[in-house]
A and B are shown apart, each in its own frame.
Chain A
Amino acid sequence: MWQVATVADVRRETATASTIVLEVPDWPGHLAGQHLDVRLTAPDGYRASRSYSIASAWSADTIELTVEKVPDGEVSPYLVDVLKAGDPLEIRGPVGGWFVWKPGQEGPVQLIGGGSGVVPLRSMLQAASGTSTPMRLLYSVRRPESVIYVHDLKELAASDDVDVHLVYTREAPAGEPRVGRIDAELLEQYVYKPTDGATTYVCGPTAFVEAVADLLVAAGHDPARIRTERFG
Chain B
Amino acid sequence: MNHLDGNAAAGALSELFAVDLTAAIAQCNSCGQTNVFAESHVYVNAPGTVARCSGCDAVLLRVVSTPNDTYLDLRGLTYLRVPST
Residues of A near any B CB (own CB < 8 A): 1, 35-37, 49, 51, 92-93, 95-99, 205-207, 227-232
> By the criterion CB–CB under 8 Å, are B10 and A95 in contact?
yes
Per-position binary interface string of chain B over residues 1-29, scored 1 when its CB falls under 8 Å from any chain A CB and 0 otherwise: 11111111011001100001011000000
A111 to B20, CA, bound (A): 23
CB within 8 Å for A97 and B20 given contacts A37-B11, A92-B11: yes
Query: B22 touching A98 by the CB < 8 A rule?
Result: yes
- Which residues from chain B sit less than 8 Å from chain A, CB to CB? 1-8, 10-11, 14-15, 20, 22-23, 36-39
| Majority SS at the chain A contact face | strand
Q: A1-B15, A49-B11 are in contact. Are A97 and B5 (CB under 8 A)?
A: no
Residues of chain B contacted by A1 (CB below 8 angstroms): 14-15
29 residue pairs A–B, Cβ–Cβ below 8 Å: A1-B15, A35-B11, A36-B11, A37-B11, A51-B10, A51-B11, A93-B14, A95-B22, A96-B22, A96-B38, A97-B23, A98-B6, A98-B20, A98-B22, A98-B23, A99-B7, A99-B22, A99-B38, A206-B3, A206-B4, A207-B2, A227-B38, A228-B5, A229-B5, A230-B3, A230-B4, A230-B8, A232-B1, A232-B4
| Contact status of A229 and B7, CB under 8 A, knowing A97-B20, A98-B36, A206-B2 | yes
Contact partners of A232 in chain B: CB under 8 A: 1-2, 4
Instruction: Tell me the minimal C-beta distance from A146 to chain B in angstroms.
Output: 20
Residue of A35, A96, A206 ringed by the most chain B CB atoms within 10 A: A96
Interface pairs A-B: 7 shortest CB-CB: A97-B20, A37-B11, A98-B38, A95-B10, A98-B22, A98-B23, A96-B10
Please give me the residue from chain A that is nearest to B82 by CB atom. Answer: A97
Asked if A93 contacts B7 (CB within 8 A), the reply is no
